[in-house]
Structure 1
């Protein structure tokens, strides 16, 4: 069947022209200081293509009078020009077919100019672009970056220079340095999409300030993080939002994409040192899933104790060594010394330190080794360093990574430099080495969580959306952006979330009658659109045991509030039957300026804000994601049962979170929705109070992660009369996908995957079932088994190229459904989705001996020809 090879772009702008150009032109105003810097760097970089300059003299660059004087249109232009000359220059470039540019200087209207001319540019204020592998240095760098596997995508020129200066000292090289600058047209998404396909990039560093397109960014970041580590830093986030909430939402968004967030430049450099040089061991089983079992070997117990403290303070684990391992290490120790973790060999250990580190790395109970060395008297430090270099080079993918701390400076500095140039991850302090090991573990955990295969369980929701629409219409018709508590609880009830019964009462006497009808004890709450926190002004009373008590409290409450807040509009009372006390939780739906709607979970009650116990994620949530969200809060430990707290029904809480998430999906006009408290006990949950705020009319929220397109699910009838459901794939289809694979014939597997796979790796299953519905679609044909589970009998897939109106297809049908017309229907569904999403051409690669597929695609109208790159592959194309 068809493969999933990437499609080359067919749009006017080519990403390769920007990120791997064959020719570059510098258009410069000599008086601008950046012009001389860029010209000097271009000339000194050793670029393998052609270099031209217009507007100034620059040794090493071929001068040209104009763009027309250059024989071939340059792939990339660097524009060191005053703002008023940018648009004419970009118009000239567009006329010649040069559509990629770098703008290092000021350009306040760059987005508008780009839209008018069609030029896509890095900038304004771009640091520039470096691709050391081809000798391109079109940047404002003070030092030329060396070739390597690290990519840096940054908005800050100062940070770029700092990282490059550090990298030169540490012998770290780069595949790309991409200066996003003001992020006007070419932003993070396009850069990350390129890096996701670049085989020379092993890890990515991100300097994030402003995300222009939240959905495109998350999609591209996730694509990169599937195959390599991605680390992000955000400068200015806390100062811009001193509450810290914005930083929490960014961390949640990055976690969802599989990106490791670090807090400062020191952590970023530590992550770069680690990820550029080491990789976690392959395999290890369930025990290695966290990747944080650290073994410490040292030539001084003081350093070992500092490292052990840092491991525990950072949330890692000191690896527990087996008796057999301890017995082996005893042979390396002086007489009378006992082995352990940390393992101290004594100051005269010399090369034995490297030997012990290698032995530690081979142990299955160890995820990373931190080897510590302090200068010792009468020790040949250079010999010890050479031994460590040799030992680390012998470790394979089945060994744990070794991170080295070579403490000191006068003698150790030169030895650290030698180890760094040999490719070791080496640090000046034990704490820095441990930080690197824990970052490696966190990266592993983040990427594993982003690709985790959820169980089959799907929460099938059937909300009463018509009721919610009526509630929202009523509020807007009254000129309100806030719903009353009664309306907010009604909205939740429409989504199947249990709520406490209540009645509205206009006056004190009515409140007493309502309480008598609902039962006692009763709760009385003031209704006012001007009182967000009613308890702060005495607007909530509990434990009212009679109608007389309710009436008296209503009169007193009214008097209190009129005295304290005379301007507040009073709309009556809400009377509720008091629920039995339980654990109080708070569920929140909010909105972030950068990443849009978010979900919060944590401790509830009046002191929720003081408790500072709230975990965050982005909608949409499924049950698995909701469970992970709960687990990240401190409240999760109480929910499991703690002293006088009985265990809580966590499945019911996860259910509530998924329902709240679906509200965000269905009604993007809702800006805020808080449930506080949500009572939770062993029997389930009960929403006691809620508050909802609407966005201004015409201002919908945009989710950073596209929701499941349930509207695309439709029944289909086979020739045999059997009715199947054809719907978009979802993460919960992982188990069914694996089952379907096991039913395929070996020949079908070879035709589909271009190799004789025996089983699907979990990472591949995750890639095929956890898709971005904005850039690809997969339709599954399913039948319902007697036990209620679904069986997958056919799959079709269409993957768009983010930078081109082309997409690649794949389709496969299980043996029992062949000849029923299912394959044709699945392809027609792809064409339908493609047309609706701007796809103009569908293509695929088919093995030349796959006669059934070749006949099938020809019957659909595809043109088929032999691939120019692979003799045994045929290329099929169809214009939509």
Structure 2
């Protein structure tokens, strides 16, 4: 490797990556490059990269920003294949920095050079002691890989992770994208789990495909920051890319099978279980506790995270009943204190733990112990016992929590051997075991084959309607025609410009009818007083027309009124919302949920990023609360989900085939037993 622009300073505060590399014991060749030449830490320093006697595998430019373009030119002339740029102030800085980054990318493409960064601390490989960072990174090699978008993980990794194998800081991702690096790091056979720290994303579909491929190989944990509005603003300037809405990111992560964590502590916990255990056979848990109260806490935590409290096998029950007095009930979870009083604390704990580990009806064991302040008198110390028993049975996960004054000391004892995982709370233990189960039995087993949707026969008609249209809302007439072209049923309707046309149209459709104002200036018609429903005869119709016109004039003075929409009036169906929004990172995002005037208040919405398989579409529907009504809850008419999946698929086709569409809403879509009908809809072009 070549360190281009490396300083000759050493010692405290030198920020010298060569010094760090030598301290770590890296055995590869290192070529310092410094315009002053001479010797740096016992290595000859070359005044130019062009003078280095061989082509380095990688060059690290660790010089100030304004010198980077010239030094990068030397890298290109030397035909270096990978260049890591440490300096800040490019896309994350001023206009000059943005222009410099664009020029670097242009030059890199011309010479076939790959660039990591700028604004990166580069790569740490603990397997061969390689490190491009000036941070003194001394963690032991372990089976965890990290791909991050901030140097905070390079600086903080020794504190966050007890050990890591490979860490890559992507920086500004000028050239090498997050998705490409994920595809590389996940194939390292030395790694058992991959951690992602993401601030933002440029190409959502590319990332989703890389993530789906990665999850098929090993668990991938993701910590997404910038979820709050303030965090999103900082994110956009920090990485040079806009942060998308967090709910959409969450949807994408779930579709890919990524394990999203809410904080660094959860990331630590999940790494512990995935690097320690090779799997888990199910979600049935045994709990061995020295306290009945602590056992109840464990039961509650397991319930919260989808774990079952296992039922003891008859064999286990028979073995353990010998330990307990007649008045004590022996079941899972076990409060082993009564047994300890009769047969000795350690002996009882050992026999119970051995029985639980051997029980085929238990897939994991949570051990709860206590610690006294006086170490000499601490007969509750079972750390060695638990490690010993668990070490003989590596196929069954054993996790532990200790309450009392010396819990941190106990934690260090458990971490000496990699066969039991210690957690700082029962809740964290249950959450981590749940993630272990979900990956091996839900996520990994789910088929995530690429889905392609055929072109809808109505696409040619839609292209005619959209031809020549500019940004903004389409007319109601165009919207309904587009939906019908794609096979989405729409209520019988017509447009009228005055009351005479409206009366004639209502009689043609047949009473009862609904009346809605048509105006490009009025989006939410109900709020504006622009909707009249269940009009039963001509007299009611004329009164409704007059009252609606007056209300619109009062609430929306100056609004452009194109007329009124007269529709057949339908009721008794379940009101649903179907929608689609074009996200800058992921493209079209499909929405399904409870519809009607209270849809935003109810917030009963499920999102997916198309294209979707039929199974994914059904899962999307079943995620919502309204799906219980669709299934016939409380005497409601059950709806055939096939008609809904067809409708959602056609809406996805429409969004994917027409990139000019920014947003679509069908609200309400009335669902009946074997059919659906769109009553209102809007489409916005970008």
Residue in 2 that maps onto 1:421 = 416
Residue 361 of structure 1: how far off its partner (Å): 4.1
Residue in 2 that maps onto 1:134 = 128
Residue in 1 that maps onto 2:650 = 659
1:567 to 558, 574, 578: 558
2:183 is paired with a residue whose SS is: helix
Aligned pairs (5 A) from 1:502-517? 502-517=493-508
Residue in 1 that maps onto 2:602 = 611
Residue 668 of structure 1: how far off its partner (Å): 2.0
Residue 450 of structure 1: how far off its partner (Å): 4.4
Residue in 1 that maps onto 2:236 = none
Tell whether 2:413 aligns with 1:433.
no
CA deviations over 1:621-666 (Å, ceiling 9, x no partner): 1211101111222222232222242322222222211111111222
Residue in 2 that maps onto 1:86 = 68
Residue in 2 that maps onto 1:204 = 194
Aligned counterparts of 2:579 and 2:508: Cα–Cα separation in 1: 31
Residue in 1 that maps onto 2:463 = 469
CA contact (8 A) 1:509 1:551 kept: no
CA distance 1:601–1:369, shift in 2 (3 Å): farther
2:671 is paired with a residue whose SS is: strand
1:183 is paired with a residue whose SS is: coil
Aligned counterparts of 1:523 and 1:293: Cα–Cα separation in 2: 55
1:50 to 15, 29, 32: 29
Residue in 2 that maps onto 1:395 = 393
Residue 213 of structure 1: how far off its partner (Å): 2.4
Aligned counterparts of 1:355 and 1:177: Cα–Cα separation in 2: 42
Residue in 2 that maps onto 1:814 = none
Tell whether 2:535 aligns with 1:544.
yes
Tell whether 2:181 aligns with 1:191.
yes
Residue 460 of structure 1: how far off its partner (Å): 7.6
CA contact (8 A) 1:458 1:623 kept: no
Aligned pairs (5 A) from 1:101-180? 101-108=83-90, 109-118=100-109, 119-167=113-161, 172-180=162-170
Residue in 2 that maps onto 1:812 = none
Aligned counterparts of 1:214 and 1:552: Cα–Cα separation in 2: 52
CA distance 1:458–1:183, shift in 2 (3 Å): closer
1:643 is paired with a residue whose SS is: helix
CA distance 1:87–1:409, shift in 2 (3 Å): farther
Aligned pairs (5 A) from 1:51-70? 51-55=30-34, 58-59=40-41, 61-70=43-52
Residue in 1 that maps onto 2:96 = none
Residue in 1 that maps onto 2:259 = 260
Residue in 2 that maps onto 1:40 = 19
CA deviations over 1:252-307 (Å, ceiling 9, x no partner): 111222211111222222222222222323xx5xxx4xxx4333222222222112
CA contact (8 A) 2:15 2:134 kept: no
Residue in 2 that maps onto 1:750 = none
Residue 49 of structure 1: how far off its partner (Å): 0.9
CA distance 1:115–1:452, shift in 2 (3 Å): closer
Residue in 1 that maps onto 2:6 = 28
Residue 565 of structure 1: how far off its partner (Å): 0.8
CA contact (8 A) 1:483 1:692 kept: yes
CA distance 1:480–1:192, shift in 2 (3 Å): closer
Aligned pairs (5 A) from 1:622-641? 622-641=613-632
Residue 458 of structure 1: how far off its partner (Å): 11
Tell whether 2:317 aligns with 1:326.
yes
Aligned counterparts of 2:568 and 2:14: Cα–Cα separation in 1: 74
Aligned counterparts of 1:200 and 1:590: Cα–Cα separation in 2: 41
Residue 352 of structure 1: how far off its partner (Å): 4.5
Aligned counterparts of 1:472 and 1:93: Cα–Cα separation in 2: 50
Aligned counterparts of 2:201 and 2:466: Cα–Cα separation in 1: 31
1:587 is paired with a residue whose SS is: strand
2:132 is paired with a residue whose SS is: strand
CA contact (8 A) 2:226 2:232 kept: no
CA distance 1:391–1:35, shift in 2 (3 Å): same
CA deviations over 1:473-502 (Å, ceiling 9, x no partner): 2xx44x452122332222222111222111
Aligned counterparts of 1:304 and 1:341: Cα–Cα separation in 2: 9
CA deviations over 1:597-641 (Å, ceiling 9, x no partner): 211111111111111211111000121110111122222223222
Aligned counterparts of 1:358 and 1:183: Cα–Cα separation in 2: 51
2:527 is paired with a residue whose SS is: helix
Aligned counterparts of 1:503 and 1:655: Cα–Cα separation in 2: 26
CA deviations over 1:63-119 (Å, ceiling 9, x no partner): 333323322211112211111111111111111121212222214133531331343
Aligned pairs (5 A) from 1:306-455? 306-333=297-324, 335-346=326-337, 348=340, 349-350=345-346, 352-353=348-349, 355-375=351-371, 378-380=377-379, 384-397=382-395, 399=396, 401-410=397-406, 412-423=407-418, 424-444=420-440, 447-448=443-444, 450-451=446-447
CA deviations over 1:339-367 (Å, ceiling 9, x no partner): 22322212844364455345434444434
Aligned pairs (5 A) from 1:628-777? 628-695=619-686
CA distance 1:332–1:652, shift in 2 (3 Å): farther
Residue 234 of structure 1: how far off its partner (Å): 1.1
Aligned counterparts of 2:387 and 2:562: Cα–Cα separation in 1: 76
Residue 590 of structure 1: how far off its partner (Å): 0.7
CA distance 1:341–1:87, shift in 2 (3 Å): same
Aligned counterparts of 1:459 and 1:94: Cα–Cα separation in 2: 43
CA distance 1:668–1:113, shift in 2 (3 Å): same
Q: Relative contact order, CA 8 A, sep 6+: which one is greater?
A: 1
Of 547-556 and 511-520, deviating more is 547-556
Residue 247 of structure 1: how far off its partner (Å): 1.5
CA contact (8 A) 2:17 2:134 kept: yes
In the superposition, the TM-score normalised over structure 2's length comes to 0.88
Aligned counterparts of 1:461 and 1:379: Cα–Cα separation in 2: 72
CA contact (8 A) 2:4 2:49 kept: no
CA distance 1:556–1:180, shift in 2 (3 Å): same
CA contact (8 A) 1:463 1:495 kept: yes
CA deviations over 1:125-168 (Å, ceiling 9, x no partner): 2132100001112224343221111011111222443332132x
Residue 50 of structure 1: how far off its partner (Å): 0.9
1:534 is paired with a residue whose SS is: coil
CA contact (8 A) 1:486 1:502 kept: no
Residue in 2 that maps onto 1:95 = 77
CA contact (8 A) 1:321 1:341 kept: yes
Residue in 2 that maps onto 1:230 = 220
Residue 250 of structure 1: how far off its partner (Å): 0.7
Structure 2 spans left out of the alignment, 5+ residues: 91-99, 234-242
Structure 1 spans left out of the alignment, 5+ residues: 1-22, 696-880
Aligned counterparts of 2:401 and 2:664: Cα–Cα separation in 1: 49
Aligned counterparts of 2:664 and 2:676: Cα–Cα separation in 1: 17
CA deviations over 1:200-228 (Å, ceiling 9, x no partner): 11101111012122232222222221111
Aligned counterparts of 1:78 and 1:270: Cα–Cα separation in 2: 33
CA contact (8 A) 1:41 1:144 kept: no
1:599 to 580, 586, 590: 590
Residue 333 of structure 1: how far off its partner (Å): 4.0
CA contact (8 A) 2:357 2:364 kept: yes
Aligned counterparts of 1:514 and 1:631: Cα–Cα separation in 2: 39
CA contact (8 A) 1:103 1:124 kept: yes
CA contact (8 A) 1:297 1:369 kept: yes
Aligned counterparts of 1:35 and 1:116: Cα–Cα separation in 2: 31
